[in-house]
Every structure is written in C-alpha cells, then in structure tokens.
Structure 1
C-alpha cells in the first residue's frame, strides 16, 4: 500500500515512541524510566465477573440503579482525583467562563438563535465532583444543557413514512420555580438505527498514554471501555490505534474489527508514561483516517484523554483549525474525557464541536457502557448536521424570555439562514431538549427586567396582523442531511394551552427538574423559589420507566448536593 511521505514520516515516530528512544519530554515533564512505568491493567485481568457482565440491552435491564459509587466498586476502580485544579486560566482543570443568559425583552430582541448540543460531559463531571470527590462543582463546570441532554426522553421519533431524520415537539407549561412565568420545551428525537443498518465505520482510537493516565480510572478504565465498543462492531468496520505521549506513534494500523484479538492486544500494550504530544498524535490519526476513508460510511477519530495537549502543537486555535478542516473533509471527531486534575475542558468542548462530533466524560464503567454500547449509533453515526434553532416571540403575548443554558451555543440572528455557519450535529437515536422561561405580558415581574433607553432616531416597529393570532411564538429549525450543503427549513407556530406544571407530561417535568438542579448548583439568580428539595420531589415523581437507573442516580446527586450545600 502506497503511503504519502508525510504519513510515513509521522508513522516513523511509532518506532521511536514505543522503543524508549522517542522525543524527549519537555522540561518539567520528564519521562519516567521504562522500568518505573506500570503496565496498564490488561483487559483479561480487568474483566468483570460473570454476574456483572453487560446485560442485554432490550430485554434484561440492570437490576439496580447505576450509581457511580456502585459502578466503581463493581469494577474495582476507585475514581477519586484529589488534585482538582482551580481553572480557568490558573492551572489544573480549565473551564470556559459561563455568563448565564439573562432575560431579554421581546421588543428589543424578538429572535433567539442557537446551535443544538448533544454533549453530556458536564453531567459526568458533576457526578464525579459530588459522588467521588464529595464537593460541589465550580459554577463554570455546570453547563445546564448538557445536564438536561444527558438523559434519554420518551419523545416520539419520526414515523417510517417520514423522510426527516428527526421529529420535533414543542410544549408549554407553567414554570415550576416562578409560577407567574411560562416554560417552553423544544424537543427533538432522532431516528433510531438498528445495528445491522449502521454504515461501515473507519475508526481511529487516538489514546493519550502520558504519565498522568497511570491511574485506575484513566488508562485501565479506557481500555475496558474500548473493549466494550469493539464488541459492538462487525466485519464491515475497521479500527486503528494511535497513541501519544512524548511522541506520537501508530500502535496498530487500520484492522478489520472482526480481528478483535489483534486490536485488544494492541490496546493491552499501551503503557502510561511521558508528557503529552497531542498535536502530533492528532495529525497522525487524521492521516490514518484519510488513508482508509470509507465513502458513504462513518469516518471518525475517538480522542481519549485526561488532560491538555502540553507538548507540540499546543495552541487551541491551531488545533481547532486542523479539526475543522478535517471535519469538512468528512472525518469527524468524538472526545472521550477521563480523570480530572489537569483537564482542559474548555478546549476539548471546542475541539469536539469543530470536529462535528460529541463530547462525553467517562468517569465509570457504566458511563462507558452508556456512551459506547447503549448510544453507539448516536456516538458514531450522524443523521443531521448544522442543526440550528431560531425562535420568534410574539410581542403581544410575551414580554421577555430567557434561554436556559446553551450560553456558548448562541448564534447571531443572521447565522440562522447562513448555510456556511457551523452548528451542532444529531446522532442516530439522540434526543435534544431546550427550555425557555417566558415572562408573559402583564406579569408583575416585567417592571423588574432590565431595558434600554428609548431610541432617539427610531421607534420600535408596529406589530403585524399575525401578532393578533394568539400564537405565543414560532419555532424555526434548519439542518443539513449528511453529505449535503443546502439546509432544510422547518417551522411551527405554537400556542399556549395554559396547562399547569402538574398537568405537564412526565418528560417535561423531569427535564425541568434537571434544569432547576443546574441553576441551583450555579447559584443562579433565576432559580426563583425552588430548592434542592423541590428538585428532588419533582424528579422522584417523574422517574417513570428507568431501566438503567440513570434517573434514580440523578436523585442521588440531588440528595448529595443538598447535604454538601447544608454544610457550607
């Protein structure tokens, strides 16, 4: 097989990286002697006992809630990271600052536009803060949309005779934390995909094997997680393994997934040691993915890391440029984060977004099962690209509104019709939920809302005749089908049925409880009269069918946060 000179040059590093003669680590990150590097736990010795094997997905749900503490005990891995940083910009863990969305007056801001988001990393990090580290998360670690979208909801998907890749549902109810306000839920449910219908995959596992990965809840947990993924692949799929530490190296060239033993052996060879050359590893991973590109299939890199790219191509802008360029060429990027302490959450969130992928945080074996087994098709297969939502509010019905979460997904109004503007992707079977808190006209809280001075040179436009329709708002949605450049437009006019929160469906109530939990963790001024007791009461009443115990686990998080807050 012919290879480009650049690819051959990159692959040559593999001989150096795994012979102990690779590039020297940067000062301050000296590589430990080889005999001091512990070998990662082998997949065979780390296997679960027969009683803890993965249950059948459809008919044999777990017999107990998947609480993080139980999961770690079951797998023998205590996932406690005691060296949590203070970020952003201060070393340790780094999170982008979140400036919470404020209420906007409809007369001044009639349109709200944002990109959808199916990332879930924030929820897993919060779980690790609460259950494993017994401390409240910092506010900037709490991305409310990722908390809400962590859960699967019982939304109806598109029917068999519909050509759309997803179905959209809009509902309005009383707002539970401020009963004078209204709460609007926009829900999207992607078309599900059977395993045998999934297109062939060209996957590259890009694995951080630096010294910091030498902890039970990092490299050994990752090896077991990827073993789970391999069991879901078939003879049409291919897997390559690239590792990076002091230097980047090709551990295994692209290999049919049916040769699982060969792939597992290559994963077992990985040892944690050295510093982190993420840039070089990423370039090599893309080169391998391009060489084995599958037309009309899934071409994806799975970046698995516990920290920062602190050697080699370190600039976030350069990383983002590389990832965005490759994503436009059809190679997508999924990020699987592990561990905490020197975790660059800010960059990994951006890099997955630019890579047209998703971002999950693997803190337990059960989380690996959720992301790489239960949600495999959604993790690997994109069914809609550049999905954008724009809501127009009727000034005759709505005085002001606030989008809950999605702070780093806000778009300009003109971006909605710009098909060159990047936005979020939806995977097969994914559900997406967005919530707006609405202040109706005439509410007593209107006068307390911030406003601008009256304009000197113009006055606000007169409402159109449509404003008298009684419609509350209009939801517009744009998306692209994979491989297409032109977007498809959908829109719905929405009326308020004036239902109370008690009359809202169970999924509405549970999503509201999760959003309220996020606001309380952030000490949001918009949490109204809700408390963690209120959140727990609503969540417990809206558990419904919970075969994997995820909603029950959420109740556990709320109870833990209540104890921690009371001790402050």
Structure 2
C-alpha cells in the first residue's frame, strides 16, 4: 500500500500471514499523482474568517503546502527540476532539548520533495487560449461573494486576455444554456462584458448539465495550436440532475481524451462543495482553486490563470523509494486522494496529474531514521508524459542523512522549508492529526508571524492570521503531542 510502508523486510507480514495476499510491490515505496490544487487552503481561510473551524474532511495538507512559494530552481526547458532536502524535527519549544522527551520527535526528520516547471511565459509569449466558462447561476449563487464575485472575475479576465484569445460562456441552473459561443476577444470585449453583466441567479444546481454543455461548446470552438480549456465557476452544491462527479466525467470523456480539453475549477461561497469539485477536477485532468474576495480573484485570474492555461506535463506521478538501511518509518503528509499503486508508477495508462508552467509541487514526509543511520535516505523520481509527443520522461534526485541533520527551526534552515512545515502542521491540526513534533497553534502562529517578517511575503502573513483565528476559535488549547502513528514501519 503506497505510503503506508508496512513491513517490507524478508519474513515480514507478507511471509507470515498466508490469509492476506502478498503485496505486489515492496512497502518502502510511496507513489502519488502530482497535484497543484490550492482550494482546500483558500476555503479553510474563508471558513476561519467566518468564525468557524473547517471540517476535517475538507482539509488536504498538500493544498496548504502548495499554496506557498518555495523558491525552487526552475528548469530551462520542458519537464521538471527536482529538489530533495529536509531537516531534523527535534523537540518542540519548551521540551527537554537533551533528549526530546515529551516531543516524541527526536529521531524524526521532515523530508521535502520539491518539483518545479519552467517559468510561465508572458502573456505575449504564450499560445492563444480558447476558454469555455461554465458559470453556476443557481439560487445558492445569490449570496454575496458568489455570482457577484464571478461577474467581477470574468470582467477582470476579459481585460487581461489577448485579442487573439477566444471565450465562450455557458450558464446552468436547473438546465444549461449557451450564452456566448466561442468568440474572439478582439473587438468583442464590450459584447462579452454585457453578457456577463446580465448573469443573475435562478433555480437549482445542475452541474452535470453545465459541464457537459461546456465541453460540447469547447469541442465546437476547438482551435488547433491553442490551449483549449473549460473553466467551471461554482459553489459546487450540485442538487439536480447528475450529481456524481464520476458519472459527469463519463459524459465528457471522449472530448477530454480526443481533444485534450482540461478542466479548471474555481470555487466560491461560504458553503462550498469542496469534495465534489476536487473529484471532478482531479479526474478531469485539471486542478482547482478557491476565490473568496476580489483580491483573490485578481490573483487567480491575473497572476495564476496563465500558469493553468498551458500543460507542460501530463499524467505526472512521483515515487519515493526509502532506503531500508537508514529509514525505520515514513509518513506522507497529505495526498490521500492522489495515491497511486506502486506497481502503476510506470504504467502510463494510469491517471496522474497535469502541471503547467510556473508551478511548483511539494510533498512532505515525516521520516524516522534508524539509530546511527548514515547514507542514502531516499531516492525520488518524477515521471510524466510530454504533452506534444506523449513520450514518457523521468527525473531523479537523492537525499542523504547529512541533509537532514540541521534542526527544522534552526537559523540555518531555509525560510521556505519552514513555511512549508508550518502550513503542513497547521493542516494536520485542523484535521486532528498527530504529526511528530507538532507545535501547538499558538507556537505555529508565532513562527508564521516571524517567517512573514523574514520572507516579506504577504501570503505568509495571512497564514499567521489564519492560524491565530483557528487558535482563538479552538479556545487557545494547542494540541499535537508529537506522537506518530504506528505506520510506515519498514522493518
């Protein structure tokens, strides 16, 4: 089982328990599809701002971590640059520094696997885009911060797109309707804005009808040599027609595969169908984000959308092989919905993740080293298909024990690794986890505040604010005793 790391040593559970099928792949491997989604973190911030803790089921740690810049070196061309590093977790503040008693983390380290694609092209350099917007105008979208924010977002984007880009607009409530067929931006901006301004909330939420018609319009307006994409803007509270993500995806499967049309989901609203949107975009070869206000809308549609338009890697997967001689235990933080069977890593028919230019992807592992361990800790490999040739490519990186010796919260550890750690621990707190060495929320807020100063990064300042809100809502009772689950035993 990927990431669980049950005993893989000779004579382990596979040899003694004849009632269980013997695993086809050794358990020192961890395999997952790459994911650039950030919606879980955006929605958590919105929920905390409303004075509520997010539902643990809506918290995906990888989306918290991937919401922050990591400063990885980028490749000069297609594919990925791979970075593998880490630090020793050690005891929490106030714990016994000598032995780490009470922290349960003195022999644990945080391992970071970082991937980066080449920088996103400028607006002038990228290929033209043919975008089909599928807009939810159901009754639930009447709430402030939903359809009004969608209209604002589309106005912003209409000004940002080039004259040779094209845009189509489909709306849905209980039924779907084409409001604007595929139309070039040049000379038509006012017409497009007039159509957007006319959008008003109606009745039920038939997401299936909207997505299906959106893909039909995208196929009808398909442009060779352009980036063809469907963009779904919704609170994802499907309640009419086809309400199952898998069933909806079957209806658009041929368009998705034959024309390479991918799906980008933009979530809105205080009551948001996060799990539904995630399933839809994960299986729709796309990704999702969340927009809570006009500032976030500008960030998504001005700064981020260009990175979502092109695809630089299709069906991208990562596999981390831990060395039995040095590693006793490991835990992948997050990616539960993106796990891939170890033996399917090089099966290019198995779905992975799609990654565009200007993206970074980070996976964090809690790793427990053996006493006196020295040598290789892990080898990480990323595999993807070139979007043009569909040929498979791989990149590999290795980390040794020496790279994990520095203390996580020490001055020599990079700020960006510490930001990733704070984001991961915060997510783990929100879903009631027990990562080794977890600081309480008060300490996390303090660390985030310090990191906001040292990085001069406003997004880290907002992270500190969110952690402080969570601490106050939870009554200031920090948790996290640093105990790891008994998983990831290599034997």
Partner of 2:118: 191
Shift of 1:567: 6.3
**2:388 is equivalent to residue 480 of structure 1:** no
Match of 2:57 among 118, 140, 159: 140
Match of residue 171 from structure 1? 85
Partner Cα separation in structure 2 for residue 511 and residue 238 of structure 1? 37
The answer (yes or no) to whether the contact 1:303–1:333 under 8 Å persists in 2 is yes
- Report the Cα distance in structure 2 between the residues aligned to 1:264 and 1:282, rounded to whole angstroms: 22
In structure 2, the residue matched to 1:257 is 185
Secondary structure at the aligned position of 1:196 is classed as coil
Deviations 1:298-350 (A, max 9, x none): 10111111133322233333112234433212111111111133x33222111
Corresponding residue of 2:362: 433
SS of 2:389's equivalent in the other structure is coil
Aligned to 1:528: 437
> Pairwise mapping of residues 97-246 of structure 1 onto structure 2 (< 5 A)?
104-105=6-7, 107=9, 109-131=27-49, 133-159=50-76, 163-175=77-89, 178-192=105-119, 193-246=121-174
What's 1:400 paired with? 329
Alignment partner of 1:500 is 2:417: no
SS at match of 1:542: helix
Change (3 A) 1:101 1:396: closer
CA–CA separation in structure 2 for the residues paired with 1:371 and 1:417 = 33
Structure 2 residue ranges without an equivalent (≥5):
10-25, 93-104, 478-491
Q: Is the 8 A contact 2:441 2:476 kept in 1?
A: no
Distance, in Å, in 2 between the alignment partners of 1:289 and 1:164 is: 26
Residue 544 to residue 116, structure 1, CA distance change in 2 (3 Å):
farther
- Alpha-carbon spacing, 1:383–1:172, altered in 2? closer, same or farther (3 Å): same
Per the normalisation by structure 2, the TM-score is: 0.85
Does 1:491 pair with 2:379?
A: no
Match of 2:264 in 1: 334
* Equivalent residue for 1:537, pick from 443, 446, 456: 446
1:262 and 1:564 map into 2 onto residues whose CA distance is 46
C-alpha separation between the residues in 2 aligned to 1:184 and 1:101?
14
Distance 2:449 2:377 in 1: 31
2:81 and 2:126 mapped to 1: Cα distance? 20
Q: Match of 1:353?
A: 282
- The residue that corresponds to 1:370 in the other structure is 299
Instruction: Give the alignment's Cα RMSD to 1 decimal.
Output: 2.1
CA shift at 1:180, angstroms?
2.0
Q: Give the secondary structure class of the aligned counterpart of 1:184.
A: strand
Q: Distance in 1 between matches of 2:438 and 2:132?
A: 48
1:106–1:393 Cα contact (<8 Å) kept: no
Task: Give 3-state SS (helix, strand or coil) of 1:414's partner.
Answer: helix
Quote how far apart the aligned CAs of 1:529 are: 4.6
* Secondary structure at the counterpart of residue 452 of structure 2: coil
* Partner Cα distance (1:344, 1:244) in 2: 16
CA drift at 1:154: 1.6
TM-score by length of structure 1 reads: 0.74
Q: CA deviation at 1:111?
A: 0.7
Question: Is the 1:372–1:379 contact (alpha carbons within 8 Å) kept by the matching residues of 2?
Answer: no
Q: Which among 376, 379, 404 is matched to residue 471 of structure 1? A: 376
